[in-house]
Amino acid sequence: MSINPKTTPIYQTSVFTFDDLNALEAYFEEPGQSYMYTRYGNPNNEELAQEINRLEQGQGAVITSSGMSAILTAVLVYAKAGDHVLCAEEIYGGSSSLLSQELTRLGLEVTYVPSAEIYALEGYVQPNTKLLLAETISNPMMVVTDLARLAETCHGKGIKLVVDNTFASPILTRPLALGADLVIHSVTKYLAGHSDVTAGVVIAQSEADAKRAAQIMRTWGLNLSPFDSWLAARSLKTLKLRMRAHAASALAVAQWLAQHPKVQAVFYPGLASHPQHELAQTQGNGLFGGMLSFRMADDQEAVNRFMRALQQIPFAPSLAGVTTSLSYPLGTSHRGLTRELQEKMGITAGLIRLSVGIEDAAEIIADLEQGLAAV
């Protein structure tokens, strides 16, 4: 009986078998032609990696257990003890914690670069500087990075550019095509998109970097389970449709919030008032994504009243699910930053980050309206 499934089955196994010693030797002589142990490779992980690599137009991708392990893998591709790493000052709080609290313990030196100096890097690059980590769209202030310009600066100074493309997804932006050396995603977010998977990925511009990332993943045990890989690969099939819906609703919501009397500011690249609006339009293929932030009065009790009055939008400190959710950067993703840096970045008590889902914009706006009415 011939069995030809349209969807790849789940290879929920930790180990694969061999017929004899000759088969074992063939595995080591021709990597990728067969499987031995799921930490080294699994058909579900491979399918997911190949599909994301195709979307990002890379030369190889490696699936990891989370977005954080993807960031760790990417840094370790280029840096070791004694090396220096640069990071954009406006970065996800988890990235900052990994660099400053953990990788410094392993002997890496880390310096943060303010947005105003990111394209020059004057005085920041040292002889042992290996890379700069930045985001396509910063979290949570939605600053859009000119990746082509940044890549030119980095390569002119002999360092690598690593880009976290989680907020944009490859549907909006492909950083490798703009000069990045490595791209990372928290697959947990838009790529998987249904708030039921925790995963990461590293995509490389060169085969050598992809092989090094794979070695790090295997040796450090950063692999993803077959079932989670299967779930994420399933979700990729609707990524383009979902991103268009996210972007359309987010633009409508941002425009509505911008005219609301209880909203002091809205941060969304799709608004003409956004400082990088034209860059975002070009770099984002005409889409601006599903993430936005807005500021109410800096009053935590007012924020609490707003949250409690919402009926459909939950306070869920993550992002990119098919249903809309909100987060509070001051108390979640960026709570580990110093108060001085929080204020410098604009992360205040009244800042709300909104992950706009794929619902009709009218439904989202109606819930926000009753939330703001309680403020």
- Give the H/E segment covering residue 88: strand 84-88
Range of the domain at 186: 21-236
214 and 117 together in one domain: yes
> Choosing from 39, 234, 305, 344, which is the catalytic residue?
39
Residues 249 and 215 in one domain: no
Among residues 11, 130, 160, 164, the one annotated as catalytic is 164
What does residue 161 show for φ and ψ, rounded to 5 degrees? -110, 120
Asked, for residue 4, whether it belongs to a domain, the answer is no
SS3 129: strand
Say yes or no: 207 and 270 in one domain: no
Q: Which of 11, 35, 92, 328 is catalytic?
A: 92
Residues 161 and 267 in one domain: no
Domain assignment of residue 6, yes or no: no
Determine how many CB atoms are found less than 10 A away from the CB of residue 61: 24
Helix (H) or strand (E) holding 291: strand 291-295
Task: Decide if 15 is inside a domain.
Answer: no
Does one domain contain both 269 and 188? Answer: no
* Catalytic residue of the set 130, 160, 174, 189: 189
Tokens (6 digits) for 184: 């990372």
Do residues 167 and 151 make contact, with C-beta atoms less than 8 angstroms apart?
Answer: no
Q: What is the pTM of this model?
A: 0.95
Decide if 39 is catalytic: yes
Number of domains the chain is built from: 2
- Both 152 and 184 in one domain: the answer is yes
Residues 171 and 88 in one domain: yes
Report yes or no: 162 and 201 within 8 Å, Cβ to Cβ.
no
Per-residue pLDDT of the chain (375 residues; tens, 9 = 90+): 678 888 899 999 999 999 999 999 988 888 777 899 999 999 999 999 999 999 999 999 999 999 999 999 999 999 999 999 999 998 888 898 999 999 999 999 999 999 999 999 999 999 999 999 999 999 999 999 999 999 999 999 999 999 999 999 999 999 999 999 999 999 999 999 999 999 999 999 999 999 999 999 999 999 999 999 999 999 999 999 999 999 999 999 999 999 999 999 999 999 999 999 999 999 998 999 999 999 999 999 999 999 999 999 999 988 999 999 999 998 777 776 778 877 787 889 999 999 999 999 999 999 999 999 999
Take residue 177 and report the two structure tokens written for it: 């095509």
Confirm whether 16 is domain-assigned: no
Residue 5 lies in a domain: no
Does 251 lie in the same domain as 231? no
Q: Is 222 helix (H, G, I), strand (E, B) or coil?
A: coil
> In terms of domains, do 111 and 30 share one?
yes
Given 211, 236, 261, the domain boundary residue is: 236
Out of 179, 202, 236, a domain closes at 236
Active site residue 146: no
- CA 361 remoteness from chain centre: 24
Same domain, 293 and 224: no
Q: What is the CATH number of the domain that holds 125?
A: 3.40.640.10
Residue 37: active-site member: no
Q: Is 112 a catalytic residue?
A: no
